[in-house]
Amino acid sequence: MFSLAKLSALLLIVPFVASAPVEKRATIDTSSHCGLFDSLLDQWGASGATSGSDCANLVSLSGTTLAWKTVWTWTGGNGVKSFTNINVNSGLNKQLSAISSMPSTWTWSQSTSSVVADVAYDLFTSNSAGGSAVNEIMIWLANFNAGPISAQFNSAGQAVPIVSNLSLAGHTWNLYFGSNGANNVYSFLPTSGTITSFSADINLFLKYLTTNRGVSTAQFLTTAQGGTEATSGSATLTTSAFSLVIN
């Protein structure tokens, strides 16, 4: 959830295996990014695991749509270990008021649902271009025995949404709100099931927050990613189509 903690970043090469030896990785400049997307392993919570790993490989790129795959396994600890994701490089650091649309498609499948993980978009906004995060906006397509960050929980220990049964982008969502200690976190979760074939304008979620939840349209969109936050278990997440463009 800390986008800056990109412990491993690799440039887009088709095809490549992200679990390349460390000595090869050390020669890649990860400080500047080019092209539409990066693939990031983002193992920000890996030190909480007793063992495990995640890797990713890009399968194909056609226009602005890519196919990719991640294989991960983590044991131990209660927190998220990795957010293996596709990171958008193009069109960032606009103010929300200047974004006209963010068309996206995401079609995926996962080898098992018996894990603790999510499949989600992760966006960050800041007071300035490239600045530190003020708001994190997550759009979950799947909740595999995990749960959102929330300021409120009921007596059964379940997160309590701040908005229920919200119709947006062709699906019904519950919206949760809380803090990860560094920034606000807004999480849209589907009210039921998983969304394995998603096609919508991601800007609708940002517009909802600026219109209804007091998020300033002067905020800058600094980060836009789609991936899986993996806590424990073993899974292969196969994305046959992913696209996210910021207009």
Q: What is the 3-state secondary structure (H, E, C) of the chain?
A: CCCCCCCCEECCCCCCECCCCHHHHCCCCCCCCCCCEEEECCCCCHHHCCEEEEEEEEEEEECCEEEEEEEEEEECCCCCCEEEEEEECCCCCEEHHHCCCCEEEEEEEECCCCCEEEEEEEEEEECCCCCCEEEEEEEEEEEECCCCCCCCECCCCCECCCEEEEEECCEEEEEEEEECCCCEEEEEEECCCCCCEEEEECHHHHHHHHHHCCCCCCCEEEEEEEEEEEEEEEEEEEEEEEEECCC
Q: Does 158 bind ligand NAG (CB under 6 A)?
A: no
Pick the catalytic residue from 56, 123, 136, 176.
136
* 126 token code pair: 């800041």
Q: Closer CB to ligand NAG, residue 128 or residue 212?
A: 212
Q: Which is nearer to ligand NAG, 113 or 165 (CB)?
A: 165
Which of residues 128, 164, 197, 247 is near ligand NAG by CB under 6 A? Answer: 164
At closest approach, how far in Å is the CB of 25 from ligand NAG? 47
Q: Are 141 and 195 in contact (CB under 8 A)?
A: yes
- To the query of whether residue 23 is one of the catalytic residues in this protein, the response is no
Q: Cβ closer to ligand NAG: 145 or 165?
A: 165
Q: Residues 111-150: x/- map of binding to ligand NAG (CB under 6 A)?
A: ----------------------------------------
Distances (CA, A) of 22 to 17, 19, 25: 12, 8, 5
* CB 151, min distance to ligand NAG, A: 17
Min CB(47)–ligand NAG separation in Å: 39
- Calculate Rg over the CA atoms of the chain: 17
Residue with the CB atom nearest ligand NAG in the bound state: 164
Please select the residue that binds ligand NAG; options are 60, 97, 158, 165, rule is CB under 6 A: 165
Q: Is 75 or 165 the residue whose CB approaches ligand NAG more closely? A: 165
**For residues 164 and 212, which CB has a smaller minimum distance to ligand NAG in the complex?**
164
Shortest Å, Cβ 163 to ligand NAG: 9
The CB-of-148 to ligand NAG minimum distance in angstroms stands at: 16
Q: Which of 54, 118, 122, 229 is catalytic?
A: 229
Q: List residues with catalytic annotation.
A: 136, 229
Q: Which residues bind ligand NAG (CB under 6 A)?
A: 164-165
